[in-house]
A and B are shown apart, each in its own frame.
Chain A
């Protein structure tokens, strides 16, 4: 039976230096920070050896206080009831990370959307272009917290 404990043991055995702040919340949930150079190999290991064959989502988080961006991966499995949350910290000035499209095909659109909204560059992505925004807005990164495209007008100023 593969559970969160088993997966954490396997990951720490294979990547002893790349995981940090690992936390097992229950049999089904595991959270861990991964070094950004190792995330490609970690995902490959999870798919090949641990039967984690379902990438639920991949998204970004902005932490302007720490001057960091985070990429969050939720990886689940059709074979056993486990959801693993992997987080990668990236510097805010130059966020660049290896694409995992060659491992999980459905990461393609997730990475394109994270790219256009947060400006996280994905290396070796097959077709990195905006998904939902127009091309002219590329470079605005609207979901970063210091985005100034929202005018200071809300409904309370209109009433």
Chain B
């Protein structure tokens, strides 16, 4: 009892994670991650209606592992689906910080990409991609649900290619 063991280096989960990123095991982990992209139901405008209908049974996004979730703590992907007003930006940052890593972000619609009809309005924020690490931009006003599914598939391809911004490689 109480014997001191010397020459033992302790490890942490982040050290294990950093080690695994350099090994082929990361491919298997990424394969699992890309097939469970649960997105946060956080509609912000008229694109939000398309986002909700994408999550409904007609488009059956379950076959790609894409499931809508109501809580940021259970979500992997957040879809910015509308203009971001200056008043809303702190709340959006807070939701983003509440999501556990690994997490990804998708810009849906012209409003979130460039401002759309609200380009350089007095109350909206420009250049969302300088604030959040955005992986996929889906143009359209609003994009069809098929386009959103296409965006998710592009994100899956990025994750498999280890090119996504959600994970540090």
Contacts and interface: CB of A to CB of B under 8 A. Distances in A.
B169 interface: no
B87 interface: yes
Interface string A130-159: 001110010010100001011101110000
Interface in B69-127: 85-87, 119-123
A145 to B, nearest CB: 13
A150 to B, nearest CB: 7
A142 B123 CA distance: 9
Contacts of B87: 132-134
Contacts of A154: 119
B40 to A, nearest CB: 24
A150 B120 contact: yes
B120 A147 contact: no
Interface range, A side: 10 to 19
B120 A153 contact: yes
A134 B86 contact: yes
A149 B123 CA distance: 10
Given A133-B86, A134-B87, A142 B122 contact: yes
Interface of B: 85-87, 119-123
A96 to B, nearest CB: 24
A140 B122 contact: yes
A149 B119 contact: no
Contacts of A140: 122
B86 A151 contact: no
A137 B125 CA distance: 13
Contacts of A133: 86-87, 123
A132 B123 contact: yes
Nearest to B121: A150
21 contacts: A132-B85, A132-B87, A132-B123, A133-B87, A133-B123, A134-B87, A137-B86, A137-B122, A137-B123, A140-B122, A142-B122, A142-B123, A147-B122, A149-B122, A150-B120, A150-B121, A150-B122, A151-B120, A153-B120, A154-B119, A155-B119
Nearest to B85: A132
Interface string A105-147: 0000000000000000000000000001110010010100001
Given A142-B123, A149-B122, 7 more contacts: A134-B86, A137-B86, A142-B122, A150-B120, A150-B122, A154-B119, A155-B119
A147 B121 CA distance: 12
Contacts of A153: 120
Contacts of B85: 132
A147 B122 CA distance: 10
A146 to B, nearest CB: 13
Contacts of B86: 133-134, 137
